[in-house]
Chain A
Amino acid sequence: MKVNVDKTLVASIALHVLVLGWGLVTFSSKAYVAPEESLPVDIISTDQLAKMMAGQKTGKKEEPKPKVEKIAEARPEEDAVGKVTEKKELIKTNSTPEPPPKPVEKPVEKKPEPPKPVAEAKPKEEPKPQEKKPDPAKEDPIAELQKKLETKKPPPKPVEQKVAAVQQQPKPKERTFDPAQIQRDLDKRAATRHELSGSALNASAALGAATGTAANNVATWRGAFVAKVKHCFTPTYNGQDADQYEADIDISMKIDGSLASEPIVVAVRGPSRSIAQAVAESAKRAIVQCQVYSFMPKQQYESWKLIPMTFGLKDML
């Protein structure tokens, strides 16, 4: 029996496979990235980006680096910490106690009896009330259902929950879209606003760079940490066997983002012992010199209490 193949069908299918396969490869490069808690990132405007890459008319062609008058801060640290802690509290309230998340009447009765929790549990809520995001959770129909199912809950925990709820309750009404306010809230640029900022100082005028690298646009603590340490890492060896040199270094951190102890050199590798040692020392200096890493998310402290790192010399030339 002869198999009769329709050529147009074959061509059609082959083309589809090609196009789909290509699309899969091209567009899916980020599809399987393991989810990682992100850090707050400032969105920069086009003129800020332009400033990073800015050139001067007096610059020389052979000067490849953009002029930098001030070293750019990795992140506005204070804000990052503040925002992160705030989020953390909210996650807790949503997950740990199951109790009625929409206690419209209850809080009124209960609020007077625990005066202390008000002060200590939610002091951070007040400064930024309009940024509350989880409000929708309160109106969640599932929550209402839960409320119906569980009529009563252990009294101590609901207290802080209710306090939070009390404060949040009026918000949905006040909430108005005010772009000016958002812009004011987002505007944290004052510190580096008028300077050409970058990762390393460079006093000479330049014609500008093709890409902007001043702000290290990193969203995870890993990325932020690597970017900051990299900035201080100045190894000198560039022989043809440079990529064989590596130093494994363990860093123990304190919760405030400073080092708990001196970095520990676990192992060094490379053809020359003295060069490998110099790489390790250069790495240690970089780690110590670049602290404090205060942008590290405190609620994930367990994941960065001890940071095992490898310093290498790839792409040194």
Chain B
Amino acid sequence: MNDARSMNRRRFMTLTGSTLAMLGGGRAFAQGQDGRLRIDPTAFQPIPIAITGFVPGSPSDGDVGNGVTQVITNNLKRSGLFAPIDQAAFIERISNIDVAPQFQNWKTINAQALVTGRMTRQPDGRLKAEFRLWDVVSGQQLTGQQYFTSPEYWRRIAHIISDQIYERMTGEKGYFDSRVVFVDETGPKERRVKRLAMMDQDGANVRYLTRGSDLVLTPRFSPNSQEITYMEFGQGDPKVYLFNIETGQREIVGNFPGMTFAPRFSPDGQRVIMSLQQGGNSNLFVMDLRSRSTTRLTDTPAIDTSPSYSPDGSRICFESDRGGRSQIYVMAAGGGQAQRISFSKDDTNASYSTPVWSPKGDYIAFTRQGGGQFAIGVMKPDGSGERLLTSGFHNEGPTFSPNGRVLMFFRDPGGNGGPSLYSVDISGRNELKVPTPGFASDPAWSPLLSSTSG
């Protein structure tokens, strides 16, 4: 008995010893590191950049030079990735862009990059725009370009230059040379006039595309930015229309026996996908714009709507209430088995709608309704990594910037006011109001104009 106990004790002692040794050993092993010192950024910081006034090539070009400078500064600042330095802090005044600047003067004000440029009216009436982007720290020119354009397109030139700077500094494609189509809302709440409107991404150059006699909803750009598809309440059933921006012509898409809605172009621009109402349900259909043939994609006793293609055109995400509550599903572009991807962790009653696939393919943006709040968020196409970017009384209808980095959506504060457009970085940072002439809803971002033939 006594012997047994001592045996026991001894065994426990060894056990204890080895346990302790293991614990200690584990700590020691965790110290192993490779030889390189590693640095990761602590917090996001915008890049400090100095944008000097564009030098006028002749005395009459002063205004356009200032305008271009202002547009570039505004673009880069609104992106949230750059911190343009106030011109009042500049030590050096650039008067000739062909001479290398004194980089010490720009290092002093902590600029990492420097933009110089010149606008010159040519004898043939065109406008010549030149710019240089300098790395202040190394003193090297990172990029330099010149463009010729008609004087009325000076804003577009400023956007293209902004894109060049953005792309060279961040490695990502820019999105400034793009447009947004939206529903402009005017008048009192009970008799709202809704017109289709289009503007530059920064809110300038607003153009109205429809007169406002009929209600319009969910406009979407074609991949070449030349056409818009949208839903309009005309005589009879609401229908999906196709609108040509250049000619102003419009036509009904397809010949369906009921209400069609929630249209969107395929990435190649050859097809329009939409919902067709059939009794109390709706299903997804796709129409080939050339052959005019239509194909049914879903056949369920539920509401399937808001379809959106993946950028490679192989898959579709859409919203459906087949499970009881509206959720996001993904299926092959040709139809077939759909897989639910939206699962709220904290609120089982939450519903998800208006999914949009990012042009980069890495995220699907959505509107989430739950707990009396409307939130805008993003998740990966497999449903993981859900992140809510903004939340409130009413936020809806996200649309991606051409580079997939920024979301635009509309927000209605409730009460007697009306909706406005907002933009937010997909990280959730940098939420900004987008200037519009009146109330605005249902934004849709165009692709990058300079990347398309138009």
Contacts and interface: CB of A to CB of B under 8 A. Distances in A.
B20 interface: yes
A1 B7 CA distance: 13
A3 B170 contact: no
Contacts of A235: 41
Contacts of B138: 262, 284-285, 288
A96 interface: no
A285 B137 contact: yes
Q: Considering residues B7, B38, B360, B362, which has the most beta carbons from chain A within 10 angstroms of its beta carbon?
A: B38
Nearest to A307: B37
Interface in B13-52: 15-16, 19-20, 23-24, 27-28, 31, 35-42, 44-48
A268 to B, nearest CB: 10
Contact of A274 (B7, B135, B167, B362): B167
By size class, the interface of chain A is 35 or more
B171 A275 contact: yes
A288 B425 CA distance: 29
Contact of B40 (A13, A31, A241, A314): A314
A264 interface: no
A236 B81 contact: yes
A152 B47 CA distance: 66
Given A234-B45, A248-B36, A310-B36, A240 B363 contact: yes
Nearest to A200: B45
Question: What interface size band does chain B fall in?
Answer: 35 or more
B31 A310 contact: no
B354 to A, nearest CB: 21
Given A262-B138, A309-B38, A234 B46 contact: yes
Interface string A263-292: 000000000101111110111110011000
Given A17-B19, A240-B385, A309-B36, A9 B9 contact: yes
A238 interface: yes
Contacts of B135: 281, 285
B302 interface: no
B38 A237 contact: no
Given A308-B36, A311-B39, A312-B39, A9 B8 contact: yes
B278 interface: no
Nearest to B26: A25
B380 interface: yes
A230 interface: yes
B20 to A, nearest CB: 6
A225 interface: yes
A230 B41 contact: yes
A20 B16 contact: yes
Contact of A32 (B16, B28, B39): B28
Contacts of A21: 19-20, 23
A317 B171 contact: no
A43 interface: no
Nearest to A240: B362
B12 interface: yes
A181 B99 CA distance: 56
Given A6-B8, A24-B23, A277-B171, A288 B37 contact: no
A28 B380 CA distance: 40
B107 interface: yes
A291 B81 CA distance: 24
B373 to A, nearest CB: 18
Nearest to B360: A239
B427 interface: yes
B33 to A, nearest CB: 10
Interface string B412-426: 000000000000011
A149 interface: no
B20 A310 contact: no
Q: Which has the most chain A C-beta neighbours within 10 Å: B38, B39, B425? A: B39
A315 interface: yes
A33 B31 contact: yes
Given A3-B7, A4-B4, A234-B46, A272 B31 contact: no
A67 to B, nearest CB: 16
Contact of A275 (B4, B16, B172): B172
Contacts of B28: 32
A21 B380 CA distance: 41
Given A13-B16, A200-B45, A237-B171, A5 B39 contact: no
Interface of A: 1-6, 9-10, 13, 16-17, 20-21, 24-25, 28-29, 31-34, 200, 222, 225-226, 229-230, 233-241, 248, 262, 272, 274-279, 281-285, 288-289, 307-317
22 contacts: A6-B5, A17-B16, A17-B20, A21-B23, A24-B24, A32-B31, A229-B39, A233-B39, A236-B46, A236-B81, A236-B170, A238-B425, A238-B427, A239-B360, A278-B168, A279-B171, A285-B112, A285-B138, A289-B107, A309-B36, A314-B40, A317-B427
